[in-house]
Amino acid sequence: MKAFFENDRFAMKAGVEIMEIGEGYATARMLVGPEHLNAVGVCQGGALFTLADLAFAAASNTQTETTVSLASNITFLRAVSDGYVYAEARRMADHHRVPFYEVRITDERDEIVAVLTASGYRKHKPQAGNGY
């Protein structure tokens, strides 16, 4: 599965690395560098979103089902401008069609940087094609 998500070109280019994938669970990280910064010198919200979204995808997709992100809510709690940020995605509810996940992003001191909650939409078909 890890190899599968490494086909996510946008996330890979952003420097996101998947660390762990379990049942309804995944972790990822990203080393914040100059290329992630916005106009005021802190990590762009889109970079943090990309990290969280990949962790969500890794936690929610399996070999037989595709879960796409439907609605995501992200709250930015702390600015970061360097160092690793870590995302931990966890399934909180397992509705057959619309599972719900929470992803917490923390920094190297384990302070919360952002929290994303995502409602997914589960499709019972193979992960292939341009599927969503």
Residues that bind a copy of itself (CB under 8 A): 4-11, 13-14, 34-47, 49-51, 53-54, 57, 66, 68-79, 81, 92-93, 95, 97-98, 100, 102, 112, 115, 117, 119, 121, 127-132
Residue 22 vs 79, nearer CB to a copy of itself: 79
Largest Cα–Cα distance of the chain, in whole Å? 43
Single out the residue of 51, 18, 130 nearest to residue 1, CA to CA: 18
Residue 22 vs 45, nearer CB to a copy of itself: 45
Minimum CB separation from a copy of itself for residue 92, in Å?
A: 6
Minimum CB separation from a copy of itself for residue 80, in Å?
A: 10
Question: Tokens standing for 14?
Answer: 């952003």
Asked if 81 contacts 43 with a C-beta cutoff of 8 angstroms, the reply is: yes
Q: What is the C-alpha separation between 27 and 56, in angstroms, rounded?
A: 9
Minimum CB separation from a copy of itself for residue 85, in Å?
A: 13
Q: What is the C-alpha separation between 53 and 7, in angstroms, rounded?
A: 14
